[in-house]
Amino acid sequence: MAANENNKNDISPQMLKRLAGLETEIRLVFKDKHLIVKALTHPSYGDGRSKDPNYERLEFLGDRVLGLLTAERLFVLDTSNEGSMARRLNALVRKEACARVARRIDLGSYLLMSPSEVRQGGRDKTSILGDACEALLAAIYLDGGLESADKFYNEFWREELENVFKKNNKDPKTELQEKASASGYGLPEYSVAGRTGPDHRPLFVIEVDVPGLGAAKGTGKSKKDAERYAAQHLLENWPK
């Protein structure tokens, strides 16, 4: 019996059917089915008591694979300076971008998570979808190498790449401050609205408030990233 057939023996027929659905969505077939199961398993699965590995370690690797693929693509496509390339890279690897990719492939519907997390809207939470998308990218990389990961990236980050080149390349915090000042609003004020995750991998929620205009929140792996995303979200909702 082939190695990949042995690999399937301890995975239920129902689970294999679930995996086949996602493989159809991403147009890739996994040799090691355990990798894709792991990539779909949220830490809450089994009400947090499951001893089966979840996607957290894969997410760590996927974040780095995503950074490499994005940096390589920008090196080829972007003729601007390093600062401009860095801002575009940040936009392409942030949780919100990963979550949009996850929604394009309906990743949330395939995730394994606790009933309570499902009731709380876990299948469409940006933070969860972003993490799971990074984990999936890592699983694709481990299963098929950089070539497979690159194929997935080219297919599903295409829209993100197109959008980031259409947008103003100015830092969102700078743009927000300039726009608020020119429109007669107060200066943007940033505050920490929340923090989750372990100390070695925190996730910050920052709220930006522009007196006279309104507020918006952003999520990031550092306060600086979260501030930029909050500013970007407020810019996106600027009154027409």
Contact predicate 84/78, CB 8 Å: yes
Residue at token pair 């042995």 = 6
* Torsion over CA: 63, 68, 73, 78 (sign): positive
Active site residue 134: yes
Catalytic site includes residue 63: yes
What is residue 183's three-state secondary structure? coil
The residue annotated as part of the active site, out of 59, 63, 143, 225, is 63
Segment holding 61, helix H or strand E: helix 56-77
Q: 131 is written with which tokens?
A: 């993490």
- The CA distance from 230 to 234, in Å, is 6
Own/partner pairs, 159-167, CB within 8 angstroms, 24+ separation = 159/100, 159/104, 160/91, 160/92, 160/97, 160/100, 160/101, 161/73, 161/77, 161/92, 164/88, 164/91, 164/92, 165/77, 165/78, 165/88, 167/91
Q: Which one of the listed residues 131, 134, 207, 225 is annotated catalytic?
A: 134
Active site residues per annotation: 63, 134
